[in-house]
Structure 1
């Protein structure tokens, strides 16, 4: 999992969409495999590795969010400050 998370980080840095999709698939498959084990079966060393993976995943999540916010800001700048009005729900009167 740690190797996959490192690969994901590199794909994020390179803005490699194919690499990100591959990493997401690999993470999902590994999570499915690890779910079968359960936390009660982990020894101390494995728990430490799991915590490292959790931290790496959190860093990658933050990077993804920053990239998404940057893209959103750039798109908004291209489109101008005009925003579409949001439709509001008004119940029909009987």
Structure 2
């Protein structure tokens, strides 16, 4: 089931980069480039890691849990921040429509 565009990202939604969107390091910066050539930059290390874990297989919850483990952070706060960031990415058109895991 797909969520409406612009909807808030749910814990069981699977973040998937939109076709033509890529992310890579460029010097000391990390750039997410969309298919139209627009860039998103200035991501902090945890945002970069969240982006890297958006592989179309993990739920938002599992992405947040992995980040919390790796950075030794409070899981509930990481989940809140991850959902907010994924919602922003969806609104920017950088990740595909939200899909719920069944």
- TM (norm. structure 1) is 0.31
Structure of greater relative contact order (alpha carbons < 8 Å, 6+ residues apart): 2
The structure carrying a bigger strand percent of its residues is 2
Q: Larger radius of gyration, structure 1 or 2?
A: 1
